[in-house]
Amino acid sequence: MPKPTWVNLDERRRQRVLHTAMAEFGAHGYSGGSLNVIAREAGVAKGSLFQYFDDKLDFFAHVAEHTSIEVYTAMAPHLGPAPAGTPFVEHFANLVDIWMDYMAGHPLERGVTAATTMELDPDIRRAVREPVHRLYAQGIRPLLQSAIDAGELAADADVDALLSMLVLLLPHLALAPSEPGLDAGLALYRTRRAERSRRARRLIATIFVPAMVPS
Amino acid sequence: MPKPTWVNLDERRRQRVLHTAMAEFGAHGYSGGSLNVIAREAGVAKGSLFQYFDDKLDFFAHVAEHTSIEVYTAMAPHLGPAPAGTPFVEHFANLVDIWMDYMAGHPLERGVTAATTMELDPDIRRAVREPVHRLYAQGIRPLLQSAIDAGELAADADVDALLSMLVLLLPHLALAPSEPGLDAGLALYRTRRAERSRRARRLIATIFVPAMVPS
DNA sequence: TTGCCGTATGACCGGGTGGTCATAGGATGA
DNA sequence: TCATCCTATGACCACCCGGTCATACGGCAA
């Protein structure tokens, strides 16, 4: 947790440090991100960083949490149930479109999301990803539930299993158009909006639309 | 690519270096892994490592490739089509069981797989993961195709989309029982064999078994 | 014996790391 | 005016990094 000094800090200075840290940690991850670089680029003495946070991990955790809340806040307005007349899969795919658009337009948030998603160290990964997973679940579960209520998903659909798969899959999907090597063959990287939307829909369809021949 | 010196090297020495490197890179990833540590633990001068490989990346790439081939070789005997009488989903789930078992019993291979799967740097990620993705596709695509031929998957199933989702999902699934914070809520970590098998089956079912109510 | 070649070695290089701390500046209240 | 508190600062610490290179060793051919 940030120290009180951080909270009392002049807004402009805090934003400058925060944005610089997002860029640095986003580009090089936790262990690769350099406090020296952040201090220099933000125009702040390195010692100051330690007036704001206990240590590097405390700093990174705050940056990660701030970022995930920011992303969630941007997505929240679109997380309502499908409007009447819009099929669930269509609604869901639109949501993924919005998410991909957001990540394409917000490199700072995208970088930090990638850095937390790909963190290797188990302790740091858990510390940083579990809150994010909770946010994802909080946003997506009601969607699935409303689809069941509307009779579009099977009443006995395994919501927990669906959810955990989506939580694994969606961040990669959202990042893939802007970050190379994440799409595992679906060639999402650097495709234009219409094309990536079409390809993402194919992937989403495989999740929800029956692939099996009924036995 | 390794230098000739590496190829001509005494087998025992090469194995010692290789195993130590797998442990180190597996535990700390590419940028976090230390050549000093590898040299010390393998009982070899640091300079020797540079007689074998051009630089750190060359070394890491070789370790990653060696590992992925080893894993693939272990899985290959089980990659045939489902035996007559065994439903496709059952066959596929058994395969995932075998994979999870393998990872549980091979910490070195598991670590390197995790390190390559979670690599943040785009250049290194691409260099190291694309060959792996090709191996995965090579193993899984015929399986899907044979399920279509057998009439168990829909004839117009989107094999490419299914494949790219599985390539994203399966490594996480295989690692999750042994590496914390990868299962995104499905609580696979440190569950015993029977339990993790049951939970993985739920997730696999969501992919292949119809979740949608036919319209 | 000599010379050669492939290999092993580890001291050494420049540079970067997270973190500390003595110092100083500025605002506030008495 | 003075004392007190909070905060900003950057030189400094011990340590680690990837990579180099002069040197030495050992086997083999002439």
pLDDT of residue B94: 98
The structure tokens 């993924």 sit at A96
Distance CA A26, CA A183 (A): 19
The pLDDT value recorded for residue A185 is 78
Q: What is the tens place of the pLDDT at every residue in A69-105?
A: 999 999 999 999 999 999 999 999 999 999 999 999 9
| Structure tokens, B7 | 């190829």
Do A164 and B179 count as a contact with CB atoms less than 8 A apart? no
Q: Which nucleotides of C are covered by protein (CB under 7 A)?
A: 6-12, 16-22
Q: Which two tokens stand for residue A139?
A: 């946003």
**A180/B130 touch (CB, cutoff 8 Å), yes or no:** no
Q: Per the CB < 8 Å rule, is B153 touching A209?
A: no
* For residues B140-151, average pLDDT: 94
What does the pLDDT look like over A142-155, one tens digit per residue?
Answer: 999 999 999 999 99
B76, pLDDT greater than 90: yes
Mean pLDDT computed over A109-125: 97
Task: Give the gap in angstroms from C-alpha A8 to the nearest C-alpha of chain B.
Answer: 34
Model pLDDT for residues B52-61, shown as the tens digit of each residue? 999 999 999 9
Mean pLDDT of A112-121: 97
Buried b (16+ CB within 10 A) or exposed e, A91-121: bbbebbbbbbebbeebebbbbbbbbbbbbbb
Query: Which nucleotide C1' is nearest A51 CA?
Result: D7
Taking only the tens place, the pLDDT of each residue in B150-208 is: 999 999 899 999 999 899 999 999 999 999 988 877 889 999 999 999 999 999 998 88
Looking at the DSSP assignment, which residues form a beta bridge with residue A212? B153
Q: Are B154 and A205 inside 8 Å of each other by CB?
A: no
Mean pLDDT of A192-207: 93
Measured in angstroms, the CA of B4 and the nearest CA of chain A are apart by: 30
Considering only CB atoms, A213 lies closest to which of B137, B153, B180, namely: B153
pLDDT at A51 over 90: yes
User: B185 with A163: CB under 8 angstroms?
Assistant: yes
pLDDT at A212: 64
On strand D, nucleotides with any atom < 7 Å from a protein CB are: 6-12, 16-22
CA max distance for chain B: 67
Tell me which residue of A183, A207, A211 sits closest to A196, measured CA to CA. A183
Average pLDDT over residues B114-121: 97
pLDDT tier for residue A7 given thresholds of 50, 70 and 90 = very high
Q: Name the DSSP letter for residue B214.
A: P
Dihedral-angle region of residue B9 (phi above 0 means left; psi in -120 to 50 means alpha; beta otherwise):
beta
Quick check: A114 and B130 CB within 8 A? no
Alpha-carbon gap, residue B203 to A145, rounded angstroms: 17
pLDDT at position B187, please? 87
Q: Could you identify the residue written with the tokens 């290194």?
A: B124
In the chain, the amino acid numbered A120 is L
Amino acid B184: pLDDT: 74
- Give start and end residues of each alpha helix (H) in B9-55: 11-32, 35-42, 46-52
Instruction: Give the gap in angstroms from C-alpha A136 to the nearest C-alpha of chain B.
Output: 10
| Dihedral-angle region of residue B172 (phi above 0 means left; psi in -120 to 50 means alpha; beta otherwise) | alpha
What is residue A49's predicted lDDT score, i.e. its pLDDT? Answer: 98
Check: CB of residue B68 under 8 Å from CB of residue B131: yes
* Residue A110 near residue A161 (C-beta atoms within 8 A): no
Q: Which residue has the higher pLDDT, B209 or B198?
A: B198
Tokens 């299914």 -> residue:
B162
- What is the pTM for the complete model shown? 0.95
Q: What is the pLDDT of residue A215?
A: 56
For residues B6 and A199, what is the distance between their CA atoms, to the nearest angstrom? 43
In this structure, of A11-25, A133-147, B177-191, the range with the lowest mean pLDDT score is B177-191
Testing the interface with A: which of B170, B213, B215 to mutate, by most A Cβ within 10 A?
Answer: B213
Integer-rounded Cα Rg, in Å, for chain A is 19
What's the pLDDT tens digit per position in B13-68? 999 999 999 999 999 999 999 999 999 999 999 999 999 999 999 999 999 999 99
Residue A177 · residue A104 · CB < 8 Å: yes
pLDDT tops 60 at residue B215: no
- Mean pLDDT in residue range A128-136: 90
pLDDT at residue A211 in the model: 63
